[in-house]
Structure 1
Amino acid sequence: MTDHSENLALWPAPLASGAVDATVTVPGSKSVTNRALILAALAADPGWLRRPLRSRDTLLMADALRSLGISIEETVSSSSAVSGLPRGRGESWRVIPGMPQAPATVDVGNAGTVMRFLPPLAALAEGPVRFDGDPRSHERPLGGLIDALRALGARVEDDGRGALPMTVHGAGSLDGGHVEVDASTSSQFISALLLSAPRFNQGIEIRHTGRTLPSVPHIRMTVDMLRKAGAQVDSPDSGGEPNVWRVTAGALLGRDLVVEPDLSNAQPFLAAALITGGSVTIPDWPRRTTQPGDELRRIFTDMGGRCVLDDRGLTLTGSGRVRGIDADLSDVGELTPGIAAVAALADSESVLRGVAHLRLHETDRLAALTKEINSLGGDVTETADGLRIRPRPLHGGVFHTYEDHRLATAGAILGLVVKDIEIENIATTGKTMPDFPDLWHRMLSGESD
C-alpha cells in the first residue's frame, strides 16, 4: 500500500446540513461497459453500446481495443447536449469488430478488467502485444491467467513475474480446450477466459481449483452477457458441474445494448440517505440484474434503511439510526469500503468477512480502511479475511485514498457527518465516476436530475 499524498490536493468533504433529499442519476456500469466492449470487438457484425460509462477504466479499454485495430466510434445525441444530461447519458459507442492486429501496446492503467480481459483476446492477434500500466498494476495478480493462457497454447513473456509488464505473442488463433485455473485471487481470471472463448478453436472448459472464489456475481454477469450475445455456455448456475464453465466455439452477435447504471457507484449516495436519515432515489435501477451492487438493497436494509423499488427507481430512506452488521461480503467485495464507512458511524459493532482478496485490489483496501478510519478516531482492526469495526466518535483530518476510487467515496461518506475531513486526491474517482464531486454537491443542494 503506497501513499502518494504529498503532491495531491486536498478536497474539503462537504458536511450535510441535515437529512439529504435528492434524486441522483449515476453513470453506466463499468463492469457491463468493459465486458460489452470485449464481446462487441469479437462479434461477427457491428454493435452499439448506449449510455456506456465514460471513465478512465472504460476509456483505457476502448483505447486498447483501438490499438488492436478495432474501430470504436463515439456519438452524442443532440437532444442530450441540449438537455444538459451528464455525459454518457446521451452517448453511444458503435463498435466495428475485426481480427485483432499486432504489434500493439496496451496501457492498462490500474484497471483489473483491462489487464485481465484483454490478454486472451490479444492471443488471437498475429504478433506481439505488450501490456503495461501504472506502478500499482505491477503488483496485482496475473499469474493464474498467464498460466492458463500458456496451457491453452499461447506464448506469454513475463520474465517469471506472474505480473505486468508482459507481452502476449499471438499466433492468429488459440486452440482452447480444457484448462485449470486458481482464481482465488481474482474472479476476473475466469471472466477473461470466458469472454474470448467463443473465438477459440475448441472453445473452453475452465475448472477452478482454488479453495475460494471471490466475486461470483461478476462471473454470472459474464455468463449472462455471453448468452445474450449468442454464445452457448454451461455454468454451475445452469445446473452444470460446480466450479466448471464451458463455452462452445461459435460466432457472437453484434448487439444494441443499453448499459445499466453502475449500482456499486450508487453506494455513496444511498449511504448518504442512510446516515443522515434522508431519502435518495436512483433512477433506472433494474428489476433484474447480475450486478453485485444490487445487494446494497439488502445490506443497507439490514443496517437500518428502507428500500422501495418502483417506477421512479430505487429509493432508500434512512431511519436516523444506523445498525452494525455481521456480513459475508465475499461476493460483493467492491462494496466493502462504503460499508466500512457506514459501519464506523453505526450504533453497534460490525464484522465484515470474506474479503481477504481486497488486499490485492487497487490498493490493500483492508489496511487502508483500517489506517484511515483509525486516524479519524475510529476503532478498526483487520482480521484474517476482513474487518472488525467498533464505532467511536470521529474527528476531522486528512483521509488518504491511495489512488483508489472506493477509498475516496468512503471518505466522502464520513465527511457528511464528521466536520473537517479533507480527502486527498478526490480526482481518483475518475477511474469509474468522473463526475463524482459534482454529483455529490448536487445531491447535497437537493438538485434533482
Structure 2
Amino acid sequence: LAGPAHVDVGLAGTVMRFVPPVAGLADGQVTFDGDPYVRTRPLGPLVGALRSLGVRIDVTGSGSLPLTVLGTGRVAGGEVVIDASASSQLVSGLLLAAPRFDRGVVVRHVGPPVPSAPHLRMTVRMLRAAGAAVDDSTPDVWAVEPGPLTGRGWDVEPDLSGAVPFFAAALVTGGEVTLQGWPHSSAQPVEQLRSLLQRMGGEVTLSTNGLTVRGTGVVHGLTADLSDVGELTLVLTALAMLADSPSVFTGVGHIRGHETDRLAALAREFGGLGADITETPDGLEIRPRPLRGGVFRTYHDHRMAHAAAVAGLAVPGIEVDDVGCTSKTMPEFPALWSAMVTGKS
C-alpha cells in the first residue's frame, strides 16, 4: 500500500470507518472526505483509537471528515478503549485491519450498548473464516492476534436490509415474496426480522426455495426495540403507517447519525403526508391514520427511498424526489420494484 491517495467516501459510513485503519498501514498520505453531511457523522472515537494505536492523523474541523492519515507502512497496535455506542462500525473498522498491526488489537468498548450487534458477530465470523485469531468471549471486548490472512472463495449471502422493502411489500399487498438462495444458517439477524414481520401480520418461512414472506391482508402495529436491527427502522415505519394499531420503536437513537438524521427525516416526510408520527430521543411513536400523496424527500438516503416505495403501494400519489439514491446499495432497485409491482420484467 502506498500513498498519496484520496478517498471520496460519499455518504458511506462503512468506507469512512473501515478504510482509515487500513490507510494507517500505507506508506504515505491518504486523505478522506465526502458529502457535506458525512462530515457530521460520528468518527471521532475511531480517530482517537487509531491515534492511541500509533497512527498519525491530521483532522480539519471537529474530529470527523475531512482528515488525512499519515501512513508509515505499519501500525503498532495494542489495547484501546473506545465508546462505540454511535456505531458498531467503529469497532469493526479496527478489527478488520488488526491482523496486520504489529501487536494486533484489543478493543474495549466503554459506554452505552453498541448498536447493531449482529454486525459485530458478522465481522468476527468473517475474520475467523480468513484465518484470524479472534477472542470475543468477554462482553464488549474483542481481541485480534497479529498474523497472515488466507485468501479463499466466499459465498456471499443475499443482503437482508436490501430485501426488507420487498418483504414489506408482501404485507402491504397481501402477496408473497421469496428471496432465493437464503442460507439455513445465517450471520445476519434473520430471526429478529422473522419475529418483527410475523408480529406485524406476515408469515415467514425458510425452505429450499429461499426465504418467503406472505402477507395476510392486514398489518399490525407493534412495540419493539430495534437496537440490533436499526437499518430496518425506515421500512418498518412505513409498514407501521399502514397498520391497524399504533407502533412504538425504540433503541434507534444512533440512526440520527446515518446518511441523514433518519428519525427526523421520517417524522418530517411522513408528517408531510398527513401522518401522526412523533420523534422520541431514541425512536418513533406512530399512530396510523389515512395518508395523502405528495413529494417524499430522501435526503440522498437509500433507506428513505425504500420507505417511500413501501408506503406508495397503499397511498396513491407519493412521489420520491430522488429514487436514484438507491444506487448506493442496489442500482437495480427501481427496475426490480417496477417489475414486482407491474408483473413485467
TM-score (norm 2): 0.98
Correspondence 1:168 to 2:69? yes
How many Å separate the matches in 2 of 1:301 and 1:101?
50
* Alignment partner of 1:205 is 2:75: no
> Distance between the aligned counterparts of 1:160 and 1:190, measured in 2?
23
Superposition pairs for residues 184-333 of structure 1, below 5 Å? 184-235=85-136, 240-292=137-189, 295-333=192-230
* 1:183 and 2:111 matched: no
Cα distance, 1:377 vs. partner? 1.1
Partners of 1:212 and 1:258 in 2: CA distance:
31
| Structure with greater contact order relative to length (CA < 8 Å, sep ≥ 6) | 1
Q: Deviations over 1:222-264 (max 9, x none)?
A: 00000000000001xxxx2111000010100001112211111
Aligned runs of 1:24-173 on 2, under 5 Å? 100-159=1-60, 161-173=62-74
In the alignment, the residues of structure 2 paired with residue 395 and residue 195 of structure 1 have an alpha-carbon distance, to the nearest angstrom, of: 46
Q: 1:294, 1:445 → 2: CA distance? A: 30
- Match of 1:422? 319
Cα offset, 1:135, TM superposition: 1.0
In the TM superposition, what are the counterparts of 1:7-18 in structure 2 within 5 Å?
A: none
- Per-residue CA deviations over 1:192-250 (Å, capped at 9, x if unaligned) read 00000000000110000112211111111100000000000001xxxx21110000101
Match of residue 380, structure 1, among 265, 277, 300: 277
Residue aligned with 1:332, SS: helix
Amino acid at match of 1:167: T
Residues 422-444 of structure 1 show CA distances to partners (whole Å, capped at 9, x for unaligned) of 11100000010110110001111
Runs (4 or more) in structure 1 with deviation over 4 Å come to none
* Number of the residue aligned with 1:435: 332
Q: 1:355 aligns with which of 252, 270, 273?
A: 252
Alignment partners' CA distance in 2, 1:294 and 1:422: 33
**1:78-99: per-residue Cα shift (whole Å, max 9, x none)?**
xxxxxxxxxxxxxxxxxxxxxx
Larger CA deviation: 146-155 vs 259-268: 259-268
Q: Which amino acid letter does the alignment assign opposite residue 134 of structure 1?
A: D
Deviations 1:19-61 (A, max 9, x none): xxxxxxxxxxxxxxxxxxxxxxxxxxxxxxxxxxxxxxxxxxx
Q: Please provide the CA RMSD for this pair.
A: 1.1
* Aligned counterparts of 1:390 and 1:293: Cα–Cα separation in 2: 27
How many Å apart are 1:446 and its aligned residue?
Answer: 2.8
Structure 1 runs not aligned, ≥5 long: 1-99
Q: CA deviation at 1:383?
A: 0.9
Contact kept in structure 2, 1:146 and 1:156, CA below 8 Å: yes
Matched, 1:364 2:272: no
Aligned 8 A contact 1:264 1:293 in 2 = no
Separation in structure 1 between the aligned mates of residue 211 and residue 158 of structure 2, nearest angstrom: 12
How many residues are matched?
Answer: 345
How far apart, in 2, do the equivalents of 1:393 and 1:288 lie?
Answer: 40
Q: Secondary structure at the match of 1:331?
A: helix
Instruction: Give, in whole Å, the separation in 1 of the partners of 2:31 and 2:316.
Output: 47
Q: Is the 8 A contact 1:328 1:354 kept in 2?
A: yes
Question: Alpha-carbon deviations, 1:140-175, whole Å to 9, x = none?
Answer: 111000000000001000035210000000111011
Q: Cα distance, 1:445 vs. partner?
A: 2.5
What is the DSSP-based 3-state SS (H/G/I as helix, E as strand, rest coil) of the residue aligned with 1:265?
Answer: helix
**Unaligned stretches of 5+ in structure 2?**
none
Distance, in Å, in 2 between the alignment partners of 1:425 and 1:295 is: 30
Q: What is the identity percentage for the equivalent residue pairs of Structure 1 and Structure 2?
A: 58
- How many Å separate the matches in 2 of 1:309 and 1:446? 24
1:308, 1:217 → 2: CA distance?
A: 21
* Aligned residue type for 2:116: S
Offset at residue 293 of structure 1 (A): 5.3
- Partners of 2:254 and 2:199 lie apart in 1 by 24
Letter of the 1:405 counterpart: H
Question: Contact 1:263–1:294 at 8 Å: present in 2 too?
Answer: no
Correspondent of 1:399 among 296, 301, 324:
296
CA shift for structure 1 position 295 = 2.8
SS at the partner of 1:264? helix
Check whether the contact 1:101–1:125 (CA below 8 A) recurs between aligned residues: yes
Q: Distance in 1 between matches of 2:311 and 2:112?
A: 35
Q: Residue 342 of structure 1 aligns to a residue in which SS? A: helix
| Whole-angstrom CA distance in 2 between matches of 1:158 and 1:392 | 47
SS at match of 2:54: coil
CA positional deviation for 1:447: 5.0
